[in-house]
Chain A
Amino acid sequence: MSDYLPSLPTIVALVKIGLLVGGLMTAAAYLVLVERWMAAWVQDRKGPNRVGIPLTKVRLFGLGQPLADGLKIILKEDFTPRHVDKVLYTAAPLVILAASLAIFAAIPFGSSLPPIPALGLTGEEPLLVAPGLDVGVLWVFALSSIAVYGVLLGGWASNNKYGFLGGLRSSAQLVAYEIPLGLGLLGVVLAAGSLKLDTIMNAQADTGVWYAFAQPLGFLVFLVAAFAEAARLPFDLPEAEQELVGGYHTEYSGIKLLLFLVAEFLHMVTAAFLIVIMFLGGWHLWGLTGSGPVETWTVALIRFGVLSAKILGVILFFMLVRWSWPRFRFDQLMNLAWKVMLPLGLANLVTVAAVEEFRPQLVAALGEGWAKAAALGLPWAVFFIGWITAGMLTPSGTDNTPIRARGPLDIEHELVEA
């Protein structure tokens, strides 16, 4: 009989999933509001500030706006054009949303809870859906590569040239920037010695040195690649409104469009989570949260608060960047990925590997303090050298003249000329 009842770990996992999905969906709705406020602030206007509690005159700074937006987009007609591939057209938004939600199975959303003996939880309960997953970072990587399918299929199934172009651009961009993203990840994984995100956070809390300081070049590469993977400006070519109407979701409306938009927002939230967890110390803040196990609820709450505040900060940075930089051209985008970010990422990886490999020798030769300084100084030296080299070698203006492919007529012409 006990075979049919869910066990305690299963129930705990389900509760965590419920909390996470509910929290993420609400957060996504309110982040849209924050984004609109940010846009308004940058453009010196007021932004949404009217909708408050319905049927009253209470405005509440426009906090009712996400609810109204959500209702509007859900109640809109879910129109399916006749020229689309119906199955894939419906599947694409589902795939992308499912993948971007499943990513969070491996992402810790806090440190952990103290033991709750009343519920039978005798150990510390990590705030992570799948704490036993040994390959956390790879899981995130795998599912974010599944999200490409949503974009690609949405664009193709729409049977619309703008949608198709958006899908193609997106897949090329995402595949290209997965490489710098992976190189940035590798440096952190190498330094922490684990693929588990909570172990990576703990490693930073233990030493008190965030990986953003220990591997500045890796942080830069990862940050840029994360912007590109989340398709945020200046990398939003897949849905460049001025060129492609809406890119891959041109033909979508109603609830399906909502799924796409939520998934896009979740990508940004995922990117913020990863940046904070891997490079900005996670829940660690000097003087406020120490390392070690969680014994009281206060510690658990403070750690959760620090992590959330950092994530909000990174998201605000994402939003500010959106209104600060113009979009890249496609050739610039690809040049940046392959000619700048890839070599910089490799340089970072080699530096980190060298530092980690020779750390014992450094300590033996220089003593504890100087060895630490050298292990921090070398990556910064590489960072500046890499930055200056990239700046000097990359042309400030790029050639945009089209290179014509030679058709049979051209070849014939050449033959006649020769």
Chain B
Amino acid sequence: MNGSLPALTPGLLLAGAVTAAAVSLWLLLPRGAESRLARSLGLVLGAVALAGFIAAGRRLGSLGEEAVFLTVALVAVVSGAATIVTRSPVYSAIWFALSLAGVAGVLLVLGAQFLGVATIVVYAGAILVMFLFVLMLAQPSGLAPYDRVSNEPLLSAVAGAVLLGLLSLSIGRLSTDASCCAVPSKAAAVTGAAQPPAPPTADDPLAVDQVARLGGELFGRHLLAVEVAGVLLLAALIGAIAVVTRGEAALEQDRRLAAGGGNR
């Protein structure tokens, strides 16, 4: 190391990684004109940023855990970035689905089975399929030009980087607290590993029978929130029906047109 350079502290590393991520995204975000140089530079910077984040992050227990976690995390992050830099909306949706799969993988590695699976069911399985459905129906051939470009590449890249930096900083500060670091990976629980699990404590949400405990928690302490969410969804449902239904008069008009309209 060159003595004149400041030592590579974790904070500096993080700042560098965040900056590289911002510049990389700014270079990669779709604009009117394509530049091969900007593209390759953006890809390189993105790789540098990812390496920086990995280096700044905390190590997990074993090599296997580390490998699995890094794989799913990289899938989530890289496809998340690809979602916003891709030009084709269909590809964008696919990348988003892959990103959700990565997030679900991270949750599974951390032992939050219900959240992981629910992410796939709700987002990838239902919402995104609807997106794809609409995209394919609405624009089967090509795109409108205004959909091809990013509106505010610089501002959005900077805003994203600031958010990313603040989040990593606060989470990093939390994780240097000794109290929080004893989160063991529960990934082994999925394969029914034989090693005796730590005795479940009363307030460990990832202990055995977690779905039952989650249900108890949701319908015990958070009952009001669940009920309010239910009412909200019902209202949205009724709203959707109200928007779609056009009433008997409109239907009658349609019938009249269908009967006498022909191919006018």
Q: Interface of A with B (CB < 8 Å)?
A: 3-4, 7-10, 13, 88, 123, 126, 130-135, 138-139, 141-143, 145-146, 148-149, 152-153, 156, 164, 167-168, 171-172, 175, 178, 193-195, 401-404, 406, 409-410, 413-414
Contact = CB atoms under 8 A, between A and B. Distances in A.
A145 B120 contact: yes
Interface stretch (B19-27, B69-77, B129-137): B129-137
A141 B121 contact: yes
9 contacts: A9-B191, A130-B190, A132-B188, A132-B191, A134-B210, A148-B129, A156-B136, A168-B137, A409-B264
B253 interface: yes
B202 to A, nearest CB: 18
B192 interface: yes
Interface string B165-190: 00000000000000000000000111
B104 to A, nearest CB: 8
A146 B124 contact: yes
B33 to A, nearest CB: 24
A404 B259 CA distance: 10
A149 B121 contact: no
B124 A402 contact: no
A138 B114 contact: yes
A152 B135 CA distance: 12
Interface in B60-76: 62-64
**Which size class do B's interface residues fall under?**
35 or more
A384 B151 CA distance: 59
Contacts of B34: none
A132 B194 CA distance: 10
Contact of A413 (B64, B94, B255, B264): B264
B132 A152 contact: yes
B211 A135 contact: yes
A138 B129 contact: no
B188 A9 contact: yes
B227 interface: no
Contacts of B124: 142, 145-146
B37 interface: no
B118 interface: yes
Nearest to A139: B117
B125 interface: yes
B120 A7 contact: no
What 10 pairs across the A-B complex have the smallest Cβ distances?
A145-B125, A131-B192, A142-B120, A132-B192, A9-B193, A132-B189, A138-B117, A142-B121, A403-B254, A13-B191
Contacts of A4: 63
Interface string B111-145: 00110011011001110011011001100100000
A3 B90 CA distance: 42
B191 A138 contact: no
B204 interface: no
Contacts of B192: 9, 13, 126, 130-132
B137 A145 contact: no
B126 A145 contact: yes
B137 A10 contact: no
B155 interface: no
B133 A88 contact: no
Interface in B199-220: 208-212
B118 A3 contact: no
B193 A171 contact: no
B105 to A, nearest CB: 12
Nearest to B64: A3
A167 to B, nearest CB: 8
A164 B194 CA distance: 48
A133 B211 CA distance: 10
A168 B133 contact: yes
Given A145-B125, A406-B254, A406-B257, A134 B114 contact: yes
A398 to B, nearest CB: 15
A229 to B, nearest CB: 12
A246 B137 CA distance: 20
Contacts of A152: 129, 132-133, 136
